[in-house]
Structure 1
Amino acid sequence: AWSMRETPLEYELLVENILDLSHVPFSHHGVAGQRPDALPITMSQVGELSCERGLAMVTSAADAAMIKRGFASGMLYFTPPNRVHYEITNKNGTHQYLTAFTTPVAPGKSRYFSRIYTDNEKALPGFAFKLLRSMPPWMVHLSSHQVVDADMVLAAGQQRLLSERMAAAEASSSSGDGNGGTSSAAAPSAQRMDRQFYMPATADRAVVAFYKWLNTFSGGRVHYANPGLTQAATAAAGGAHTVAFGAASGGVERSHILDRYTQHTRHCRLCQEGMVVVQRVAVGALLAAAASAAGALAVLARTNAFAMAASLATGSPAPVASSLGGGNMGLAVALGLLAALCLAVSSAARGVKPKFYSGDYTFHDRHIKVPMKSDQGNKK
């Protein structure tokens, strides 16, 4: 299923994030990769940059897990103006794909559309393929949010740092310009951005090539329909859900960066239907739990009443175990277990509902201890 997220990020940074394969096992540890599985990535450009065709890169695997799944080769494409496509060829001849569209909406605001798919069920383990096929679309969307959340936190921080650097550079270059040492910040551009970093690694070649394409064929930036549109205007129109870029922003609250409802759910009919389903399951399971518990108590009460009546009639109290009766006792236990199960389902459903509204990805909670060579030697 396709998924969409409206991000408080510049178009350039969003494209950069998708082209940067090396971040996956680190940024998405525990969700879409594992840090110990990270590998050096080699990339080589295929052909020349083109205004219409963009760029193409041959790439190696992003982590060891991909090799274990049969990775043979990979191709990474940027097709102007906003398509990033990743194609994996496995040793058994099957393919896996990631297609993403990054649409600039306004300065400091972009929409992200993505889909992961395959041309053959053999490309994935049988259980995983059947699980993905059986998942409702809204559940797939919730799963994709976990990946985007991590990107949003890191990219928003990167964007804020770039804003501060560019604002400082503008202030320095505008001093003594005859305007009292101040001037309005120029529009952010790829020329100014790519000078902020030194990227010699082969894993960065796709990112470097993208900024080169942007500089060569688009004047180094996105040209919006309204030339006077600024980050401040976007922030005013969109509330605090925009991270200023090219001018000092002061940052954006984490809760706004990870506001799934504003960025996705309110636009998505499937997730709105999913919220209704989850709410109905939560309420229905709670009512079923109450009914089952009441039934168990009723069975016990009725059995005890019959036992007491029989005891009074005979004048000799019956043992508790025999008075309850094997069948009635079994029914009461079954109803009690059903009540507990329904209560657990209701609790789980109530826990899903907040995920439609907000998310989080706390990096320091996703740590892992990597065994040192000395530890491995001691074990031997």
Structure 2
Amino acid sequence: MGRSGALSVLKQLRVWTLVVLALLFRDSQARHNHCCLAYSISPRGGIKAQTSRPPTLAGTRVSPWHAATPGVRGREGGGGGGLRSTAAASAPGGDGGGQAGLDERQEDEGKTGVQGQEAAFEWTRQWYPVVVMRDLEARDPRQPYPVKLLGESLVVWKDPKDDGWKAFTDKCPHRWAPLSEGRVNQETGRLHCIYHGWEFEGDGKCGSIPQANPDARDIAQNSNRQLMACATVLPTQVVQGKLWVWPDSSPEGVKASESVAPVVVPNLDLDNGDWGSNWYARDLAYGFDTLVENLVDPAHIPFAHHGVIGQRAQGSPMAIELEELAPGEEGFLTKPTGYSGRDLMRVSFRPPGLVYYENDYTKSLPFMAKGLPPPLRVVYWAMKKFNLDKRVAMERTDRDPSDRCLFYFIGYAVPTSPGRCRIFTRSPRNFFLQHPVIPRRWRNSLAGEHLGQHKVLDGDSTALHVQERYLLNAGQQGVKQPERTFYMPTQADVTIRAFRKWYNSRGGGGPPWAQGVDPSDLGPVLPREEILDRMVAHTKDCSACGKAYRVSGRVKKAAVGGALLFLTGAAVAPRGALALKLAAGALANAGLAVAMAKRQQEFVFVDYVHYDRE
């Protein structure tokens, strides 16, 4: 074969090679497009489902989430259609450093196409707690209660006809005035819109239109317009002392709500009175996912909450490992872990927003009491003297495993709006419920307990508020999944990686938001007075703290008046014992007034400065 023949063969080989490569590329691209049909990476690193906008029939009342712009939705046929993802709006996830982080990143990237075929978590077909029943029952029954959920404004009110709690979207169908500004008409048993006087039954039907001609057929009952005159009703139920709302009001969504139970801690009945403790609620100035990530992170407690619920000296390696969940379970559960090698607690996340710590003190409490120095060993004696060993299994080996000494921390994170969330916490235990010395009426009040909870949340609220804005800015500057730049080389970050992996895959990058809500609009960094605010975030809605605030104000005013009265008496009284007593009375009242002013301020705002805490 000559030189020209060889060149001809080489050209043919090159042509056939290019043909084969083109065919392989086309096949690969087809597979890639099939795997990415459900999900695509958003410009800011979030994951968005590619769905068409569901049709809406004229005159049909549906959830605000159904009429939203195209975005993340729930499972096929689910009630989350047309919702927007918040993957880039806030927060960290994944792993950023170390060989473990690199391996997990490669593993996640290798599974992206496969996980895209899995049905997404249905954020709008879940039950969310919105308010503590103790506080709701304490309100004036005529006053509706406004709440936020997934970016949508809702109104909660009590129906006098059946004593049931109802939840509507906070829009009157007439001219969209907020129904939360209205009142509950106790005579008609309807929710009254303050703008034009329209009234709505508990099932959402319009019961009265004052502007309608009484001689003509009631407009509200006209079958052609009846749906347009109805308020949008969301399913509700009361479970474990909280009112829960189901965001999907479509017929399919309402039916689905009947077969789904609110997510609670397994095998823990908080309604039977054997666990003590009370619910605490507060609105926070950072996002839902930032809160969950913070709650599942036990390693930050000794540092962010030094002097409150931890000590910096307690910081130590934490070998956190995950348990294998049973089929069908969501989230994650850790194996027993703890500080300094004391494996007492397990951490669990259950979507959409439950985080709980189970701490087993069955063996550690008596061991700790018996090991105290001699002067303090009276604690051990007291435990024996008052038969507390029956509750803490001091020297028993035949204790029923189901009767362990357990202490829980329970936290619910509720997505209210981008960059905002509401937290519900409770710390029940089944031991030391009856104090051997101090009567219940002398112990710390519920308002006092809440002030203690404020200190815990204030310890890292400012840092978390700023942190998620750093991440958002990085995403807006073109960094894809900015949380992956984090450096998390230790096992203490296992729970953060586990949450982010679930959140970005099964969770679709975050919960959907109502129509018109921009998940990337977190606003500027707020001043500390707003981040650490207690009045708007808690006191105004809390029955116990609101009462304590008002009582403190009344006592302060009385003390000021008493101080002036005693001072005036001391000024006009002749010198002697009487004048000294009156002056002492004035001084005591002034001291009481100062103490009450300080107490009042604790329900409004208290700054939290870490470098001041030794």
Separation (CA, whole Å) in 2 of partners of 1:137 and 1:46: 36
Counterpart mapping for 1:168-317 below 5 A: 168-169=477-478, 192=481, 194-226=483-515, 228-231=516-519, 244=522, 250-294=524-568, 301=574
Structure 2 residue ranges without an equivalent (≥5):
1-277, 366-391, 393-404
Separation (CA, whole Å) in 2 of partners of 1:268 and 1:159: 28
Separation (CA, whole Å) in 1 of partners of 2:462 and 2:441: 27
Separation (CA, whole Å) in 2 of partners of 1:224 and 1:130: 48
User: Paired residue for 2:290, among 13, 29, 48?
Assistant: 13
2:608 match: 361
2:353 match: 82
1:17 Cα deviation from its structure 2 partner: 0.5
2:443 match: 134
2:316 match: 39
The residue type equivalent to 2:600 in the other structure is K
Q: Please list the CA deviations of residues 64-95 of structure 1 after superposition, one character each: whole Å capped at 9, or x if unmatched.
A: 7xx9xxx6611111111111111111124422
1:176 match: none
Separation (CA, whole Å) in 2 of partners of 1:41 and 1:35: 14
1:167 Cα deviation from its structure 2 partner: 1.0
Q: Please list the CA deviations of residues 296-322 of structure 1 after superposition, one character each: whole Å capped at 9, or x if unmatched.
A: 566x61xx5xxxxxxxxxxxxxxxxxx
Q: Please list the CA deviations of residues 320-366 of structure 1 after superposition, one character each: whole Å capped at 9, or x if unmatched.
A: xxxx5xxxx3x665554443233212101111222222232112222
Q: Please list the CA deviations of residues 263-302 of structure 1 after superposition, one character each: whole Å capped at 9, or x if unmatched.
A: 222322332212111101111222333444455566x61x
User: Paired residue for 1:110, among 415, 421, 424?
Assistant: 421
Q: Which secondary structure does the structure 2 equivalent of 1:152 belong to?
A: helix
1:311 match: none
1:19 Cα deviation from its structure 2 partner: 0.8
Separation (CA, whole Å) in 1 of partners of 2:359 and 2:532: 30
The residue type equivalent to 1:279 in the other structure is G
The residue type equivalent to 1:211 in the other structure is R
**C-alpha contact 2:336 2:343 (8 A) present in aligned 1:** no
The residue type equivalent to 1:288 in the other structure is G
The residue type equivalent to 1:162 in the other structure is L
Q: Does 1:99 align with 2:410?
A: yes
**C-alpha contact 1:194 1:211 (8 A) present in aligned 2:** no
**C-alpha contact 1:49 1:213 (8 A) present in aligned 2:** no
**C-alpha contact 2:471 2:483 (8 A) present in aligned 1:** no
Q: Please list the CA deviations of residues 24-63 of structure 1 after superposition, one character each: whole Å capped at 9, or x if unmatched.
A: 111112222221232222211111486644211124334x
More helix per residue: 1
Separation (CA, whole Å) in 2 of partners of 1:274 and 1:113: 20
Q: Which runs of 4+ in 1 moved over 3 A?
A: 48-53, 129-133, 288-298, 331-339
Separation (CA, whole Å) in 1 of partners of 2:322 and 2:413: 22
Number of residue pairs the alignment of both structures matches: 297
Separation (CA, whole Å) in 1 of partners of 2:360 and 2:589: 44
2:588 match: 341
The residue type equivalent to 1:100 in the other structure is G
Cα pair distance change 1:274/1:16, threshold 3 Å: same
Q: Which secondary structure does the structure 2 equivalent of 1:229 belong to?
A: coil
Q: Which secondary structure does the structure 2 equivalent of 1:264 belong to?
A: helix
**C-alpha contact 1:281 1:349 (8 A) present in aligned 2:** yes
The residue type equivalent to 1:136 in the other structure is S
Q: Does 1:119 align with 2:430?
A: yes
The residue type equivalent to 1:275 in the other structure is Y
**C-alpha contact 2:549 2:600 (8 A) present in aligned 1:** yes
Cα pair distance change 1:72/1:52, threshold 3 Å: closer
1:155 Cα deviation from its structure 2 partner: 0.5
Separation (CA, whole Å) in 1 of partners of 2:564 and 2:304: 43
Separation (CA, whole Å) in 2 of partners of 1:164 and 1:264: 29
Cα pair distance change 1:213/1:49, threshold 3 Å: farther
**C-alpha contact 1:32 1:147 (8 A) present in aligned 2:** yes
Structure 1 residue ranges without an equivalent (≥5):
174-191, 236-243, 305-323, 369-380
